Amino acid sequence: MRVLTVVAVVLFHSCLSRCADDGYVPLVKQQYADKINNQIRAQITMELQASYLYQAYASYFDRADVALPGFKKFFLQASKEEKEHAQILIDYVNKRGGSLQFSDIKLLDVCDIIKDLSRTVDLSGRRQQTCICYFVSQKRQLLKSKSDPVCMRPRSDWSHGLMAMEDALLIERKVNSELLDLHDIASSGPTKDPHLTHTLEHIYLEEQVESIKKLGNYVAQLSRFSNDYRLGEYLFDQSLQ
């Protein structure tokens, strides 16, 4: 009996040390796959990247040579919401006994994501870069080397509000497609996870679709001010305050 107890204690301790190495919480973790955990971690990074981008854009609209307080307010609020989305996922991983490791959040990574996406859609002025994102990044000089004719124009000629809303729309579409991928992985096969699909459906997917629709409306409305863009942008800014 004593031998059995000793073996059990040894096994328990070896399990604890092994479990501590992979970061999971075995007392809580149940039917929660590695692949799901890694995908949620990637989603947390994506949400924080979006939050960081929006915070940087809010600062851009607060510059005295841009001065669009309604857009600043919009992007500050959007940044806060994305951070909350990340926090909900962080809490979710802990709730499931998962393993969290935080990645670096780099603005340039987000600029590159937008740049890649912008080549697949028809943006205003046919630009294929994110002018504002590179301008607010620590590698502003990349704007020159990337030589997009729209970004190369003097900044006073940029359609700041329209460009920013287009960038936000692209990022929200990217976030949504990552969420749908996560939902797919959790829907069937060895990674099937009904609790996660329930959480995604009730907390994330509806809000994401709403946000894409709202940004689509904003882009359409701002694009209509083709004769006097500056006046239209000013009026639009008033509506966001």
Q: Note the residues at the interface with Fe ion (CB under 5 A).
A: 47, 82, 85
Considering the complex, what minimum distance in angstroms separates the CB of residue 82 from Fe ion?
5
Judge whether 60 and 158 are in contact, CB under 8 Å: no
For 177-206, give the DSSP string: HHHHHHHHHTTSGGG--HHHHHHIIIIIIH
Residue 137 has a CB neighbour count (10 Å cut-off) of 20
> Looking at beta carbons only, is 25 or 76 nearer to Fe ion?
76
Task: Report the distance separating Cα 31 and Cα 175, nearest Å.
Answer: 25
Considering the complex, what minimum distance in angstroms separates the CB of residue 50 from Fe ion?
6
Please give the angle made by the CA atoms of 175, 241 and 74, to the nearest 5 degrees.
15
Task: Report the distance separating Cα 112 and Cα 76, nearest Å.
Answer: 22
> Looking at beta carbons only, is 143 or 164 nearer to Fe ion?
164
Considering the complex, what minimum distance in angstroms separates the CB of residue 177 from Fe ion?
12
Considering the complex, what minimum distance in angstroms separates the CB of residue 235 from Fe ion?
28
Considering the complex, what minimum distance in angstroms separates the CB of residue 204 from Fe ion?
7
Residue nearest to Fe ion (CB): 85
> Looking at beta carbons only, is 85 or 160 nearer to Fe ion?
85
> Looking at beta carbons only, is 85 or 96 nearer to Fe ion?
85
Q: Which two tokens stand for residue 7?
A: 């073996």
Judge whether 19 and 25 are in contact, CB under 8 Å: yes
> Looking at beta carbons only, is 74 or 225 nearer to Fe ion?
74
Contacts of 79 (CB under 8 A, 6+ apart): 51, 52, 53, 54, 55, 58
